[in-house]
Amino acid sequence: MKIRKTFLMLSLTSSLFACISDDVLTNEDIKTQNISSKVVANILFDNDIDETASYNIRKDGYVVIQFDSSVSEKTYTKVVNQLRSNSSVPGVWAEQSGLEVCSLR
């Protein structure tokens, strides 16, 4: 029983450290995320879809954005193109209703 407890504790401890090391952000990562986030927020607001899109910024500034089904193809294409043309955003993955939209060709 004692061996099993020790093994379990070691497994949990190493899993915890593995998770922590993957999620550590440097000050540079945080700065990069903040810059990309500001760009995305402004573009969504300017296109009046700040309440119908959600996004996540990876630590390298890459944007993952999901549009609500109410957002038209014309609008989300415009927004994705604006994001991709901004030099502060290194890349964009966009989806709507679980499907990729505006894929790179």
Q: What is the CATH number of domain 25-101?
A: 3.30.70
Q: Answer yes or no: are the C-beta atoms of 77 and 57 closer than 8 Å.
A: no
Residues 6+ apart with CB under 8 A from 65: 40, 53, 54, 55, 56, 79, 80, 83, 92, 93, 94, 95
Residue 20, pLDDT score: 52
| Per-residue pLDDT reduced to its tens digit, 67-102 | 999 999 999 999 999 999 999 999 999 999 999 998
| Per-residue pLDDT reduced to its tens digit, 15-25 | 445 445 566 88
Q: For the chain, which residues make up each domain, given as ranges? A: 25-101
φ/ψ (deg, to 5) at 21: -65, -30
